Amino acid sequence: MTKTLYNKVAISIIGCLFMVLGGFVTQGWALPVLELTDDFNKTTITIVDNGSGDLNPTDGIISWMGTIAGWDFSMTMGSSYPATGGADKPELHLTVGNISTSGAGTVSFKFYNTFYAWNPALSGLYSGYGGSVANGMTVEVQTYLDDALMGDFGPSTGAFSGSSTSLITPKDTNKYTITIDGSISSTGVGQSGSFDVTVAPVPEPATILLFGTGLIGLAGFARKKVKKS
């Protein structure tokens, strides 16, 4: 094989790689990242959906269980596209289950993903969270579209829930980052809890209308049953 032929083959391979990577980006396919930081010891654990330890590499789901400083995480799971949502419909879901601590302190968490397409039909994003933690333990959560704050929840203790709708849209519809940011604080040994956080597209008006129509239909059906009985 001549040198010229080698060069042509190399150029073809590089071209194919660019096409694959280009398709990867235009599909909105990115790697979600979860960071856990013990604020006292400044120890950070970073988990990326890059296939390391994952059963299904780059499937949009990451999970971790273990100990960071005095904190024990029985289960931490984050999901995003392609596991949930769409290439142009960004979604993030974070579940932190059964956290317990050996003493007072704070752990910060950040779960984020970058997207490369935005559906112009979307009017904004919904943020919601809920869970339950022991007395003396608090959870605080913020959600962001790039640097713009969408939802601000807490500090919360006991059983809690909340939601927020933001009509903010990205300045750059071809590249933007959705982030779930927050902290968990404890005041003593043995405190525990769990919570969930979600960022998803605001339901489209047509979807809300159909849902409302369905509820009206169910109410009418219920009234008919009452009259018959």
Residuewise pLDDT in 10s, the chain (229 residues): 454 444 443 334 333 333 333 333 334 456 899 999 988 777 888 888 765 444 555 688 888 888 888 888 888 899 998 888 888 899 999 999 878 888 888 999 999 999 999 999 999 999 999 999 999 999 999 999 999 999 999 999 999 999 999 999 999 999 999 999 999 999 988 889 999 999 999 865 444 343 343 444 444 434 444 445 4
Q: Cα 7 to chain center, whole Å?
A: 44
Q: Are residues 130 and 198 in contact, defined by beta-carbon separation less than 8 angstroms?
A: no
> What whole-number distance in Å separates Cα of residue 149 and Cα of residue 167?
11
Residue 124 is classified by DSSP as: -
Single out the residue of 164, 165, 180, 150 nearest to residue 76, CA to CA: 180
Three-state DSSP state, 110: strand
Buried b (16+ CB within 10 A) or exposed e, 23-61: eebeebbbebbbebbbeeeeeebebebeeeeeeeebebb
Domains of the chain: 31-228 (2.60.120)
> What whole-number distance in Å separates Cα of residue 124 and Cα of residue 122?
6
Residue 144 burial (10 A CB sphere; 0-12, 13-18, 19+): buried
What's the farthest any 2 CA atoms get from each other in the chain? 90
Residues with Cβ within 8 Å of 207's Cβ and at least 6 positions away in sequence, in order, are: none
Residues with Cβ within 8 Å of 196's Cβ and at least 6 positions away in sequence, in order, are: 93, 94, 95, 96, 129, 130, 131
